[in-house]
Structure 1
Amino acid sequence: MLPERPRNAQETCLPRNTEIAIDVRDAVKRYGPFTALKKISLSIHDNEFFTLLGPSGCGKTTLLRMIAGFEDVTEGAIFLYGEGIDALPPHKRPINTVFQNYALFPHMSVLENVGFGLEMLGKSKAEARARAGEALEMVQLSQFATRMPSQLSGGQQQRVALARALAPRPKVLLLDEPLSALDLKLRKAMQVELKHLQRETGITFIFVTHDQEEALTMSDRIAVMSAGELQQLGEARDIYERPRNVFVADFIGETNLMEVTVDAINGGRAQCHLGGGHKLTCDAVEGITPGAKVHMSLRPERLFLSVEPVENESLTGRVREMIYIGTDTATIVDLDGGPQFTVRSSNSSRGNARTFEPGTEVAVNMEHGAGRLLVD
Structure 2
Amino acid sequence: MPQDREIAIDVRDAVKRYGTFAALKRISLTIRDNEFFTLLGPSGCGKTTLLRMIAGFEDVTEGAIYLYGEALDTLPPYKRPVNTVFQNYALFPHMNVLENVGFGLEMLGKSKAEARARAGEALEMVQLSQFASRKPSQLSGGQQQRVALARALAPRPRVLLLDEPLSALDLKLRKSMQVELKHLQRETGITFIFVTHDQEEALTMSDRIAVMSEGELQQLGEAREIYERPRNVFVADFIGDTNLMEVTVDKVSGGRAQCHLGGGHSLTCDAVDGVEAGARVHMSLRPERLFLSAQPAEPGSLPGTVRETIYIGTDIATIVDLEDGPQFTVRSSNSTRGNARVFEPGQNVAVNMETGAARLLAD
For normalisation by structure 2, the TM-score amounts to 0.99
Of the three residues 6, 17, 23, the one matched with 2:4 is 17
Amino acid at match of 1:295: H
SS at match of 1:132: helix
User: Match of 2:144?
Assistant: 157
Answer whether contact 2:37 2:207 (CA < 8 A) is retained.
Answer: yes
In the alignment, is residue 33 of structure 1 matched against residue 30 of structure 2? no
Could you say what secondary structure the match of 2:345 adopts? coil
* Aligned equivalent of 2:81: 94
Match of 2:92?
Answer: 105
Q: Give the CA deviation at 1:310.
A: 5.7
| 1:226 is aligned to 2:213 | yes
Identity of aligned residues (%): 86
Q: Distance in 1 between matches of 2:299 and 2:42?
A: 39
Of 65, 71, 76, which residue of structure 2 is paired with 1:78? 65
Deviation, 1:89, is 2.1
Find 1:188's aligned residue among 152, 158, 175.
175
Residue identity matched to 1:330: A
Q: Which residue of 1 aligns with 2:279?
A: 292
Give, in whole Å, the separation in 1 of the partners of 2:190 and 2:277: 48
CA drift at 1:26: 0.2
Q: Which moved more, 1:346-355 or 1:157-166?
A: 346-355
Deviations 1:19-52 (A, max 9, x none): 1000000000000011100000000000000000
The number of aligned residues is 363
Indicate the residue corresponding to 1:11 in structure 2. none
Q: SS where residue 309 of structure 2 aligns? A: strand
1:15: Cα distance to partner?
2.7
Q: Report the aligned-residue RMSD.
A: 0.9
**Structure 2 unmatched runs, 5+:** none
Which residue matches 1:179?
A: 166
Most deviating of 73-82 and 312-321:
312-321
Specify which of 46, 56, 77 is matched with residue 33 of structure 2. 46
Q: Shift in Å at residue 292 of structure 1? A: 1.2
More divergent stretch after superposition (350-359 vs 77-86): 350-359
Q: Does 1:62 align with 2:49?
A: yes
Query: How big is each residue's C-alpha offset from its partner over 1:67-124, in whole Å with a ceiling of 9 and x where there is no partner?
Result: 0000000000000011101232211111000000000000111000000000000101
**Equivalent position of 1:344 in the other structure:** 331
Alignment of 1:215-294 (within 5 A): 215-294=202-281
What runs of 5+ residues in structure 1 fail to find an aligned partner? 1-13
Could you tell which deviates more after superposition, 41-50 or 288-297? 288-297
Q: Deviations over 1:254-303 (max 9, x none)?
A: 00001111112222211111110111111111121222110000000000
> Could you tell me how far apart the structure 2 residues matched to 1:18 and 1:261 are?
43
Please tell me whether the aligned partners of residues 309 and 364 of structure 1 are also in contact (alpha carbons under 8 angstroms): no
Alpha-carbon distance in structure 1 between the residues aligned to 2:196 and 2:164: 5
Cα deviation, residue 309, structure 1: 5.2
Q: Secondary structure at the match of 1:162?
A: helix
CA distance in 2, matches of 1:136, 1:310: 60
Rounded Cα–Cα distance in structure 1 between residues aligned with 2:253 and 2:299: 17
Structure 1, residues 105-164: CA drift from partner, whole Å, max 9, x if none?
Answer: 001110000000000001011100100000000000011111111110000000000000
Matched AA of 1:15: P
Tell me the CA shift for residue 16 of structure 1: 2.8
Q: Which residue of 2 aligns with 1:211?
A: 198
Q: Is the 8 A contact 2:320 2:328 kept in 1?
A: yes
Contact kept in structure 1, 2:283 and 2:359, CA below 8 Å: yes
Deviations 1:301-324 (A, max 9, x none): 000011135642211111000000
Q: What amino acid is the match of 1:181? A: A
Q: Distance in 1 between matches of 2:150 and 2:265?
A: 56
CA distance in 2, matches of 1:282, 1:128: 60
Aligned-partner residue type, residue 336 of structure 1? E
Question: Is the CA contact (8 Å cut-off) linking 2:297 and 2:303 kept in structure 1?
Answer: no
Contact residue 38 and residue 193 of structure 2 kept, 8 A? yes
**Given residue 28 of structure 2, which amino acid in structure 1 is its aligned partner?**
S
Write the mapping of 1:353-364 to structure 2, written as runs, cut at 5 A.
353-364=340-351
Give the aligned residue type for 2:23.
A
Instruction: List, as ranges, runs of 4+ consecutive aligned residues in structure 1 with deviation greater than 3 Å.
Output: none
3-state SS of the aligned residue for 2:146? helix
TM-score, normalising length: structure 1: 0.95
Quick one: distance in 2 between partners of 1:375 and 1:213?
Answer: 23
Kindly indicate whether residue 313 of structure 2 is the aligned counterpart of residue 326 of structure 1.
yes
